[in-house]
Amino acid sequence: MATGAFLPRELALALILAAAVEAGLFGLFIVAGIDKAKVTAHEVQAPEEIPIAVKPVMDDLPLLKLGSKKVKAKLPDMWAKQAPVRRFEETSAPSEKAEKTVQAIPTSRVATKDAEAPPPDAAIAKEVDQKLTDAGPPKPEPNLPTEGAADGVKNGTETDPLKARAANLYAAKLIQWFQNRFQRPTGMPCAVIHGLTATAQITVGPDRTITGFTFSKPSGNADFDERVKTSLQAEVGQELPPPPPLYPDLKPNSLLTPTFSGKDAPCADSPPE
Residue-level pLDDT at 30: 80
Residue-level pLDDT at 37: 53
| Helices and strands (DSSP H and E) totals, the chain | 4, 8
Instruction: Return the H-helix or E-strand segment holding 225.
Output: helix 222-235
Q: Distances in Å between the alpha carbon of 154 and those of 71, 195, 245?
A: 16, 38, 28
Q: How many CA atoms lie within 13 A of 136 on its CB side?
A: 6
- The DSSP code for 153 is B
User: Taking the alpha carbons of 98, 101, 103, 106 in that order, is the dihedral positive or negative?
Assistant: positive
Q: Taking the chain (273 residues) in consecutive chunks of 10 residues, what is each chunk's mean pLDDT? A: 71 88 84 62 75 59 63 60 68 69 67 68 63 54 56 62 82 90 84 88 91 88 90 90 87 88 78 52
Residue-level pLDDT at 210: 92
Q: Which neighbouring-strand residues pair with 124? A: 88
Residue-level pLDDT at 209: 92
Residue-level pLDDT at 199: 92
Residue-level pLDDT at 1: 47
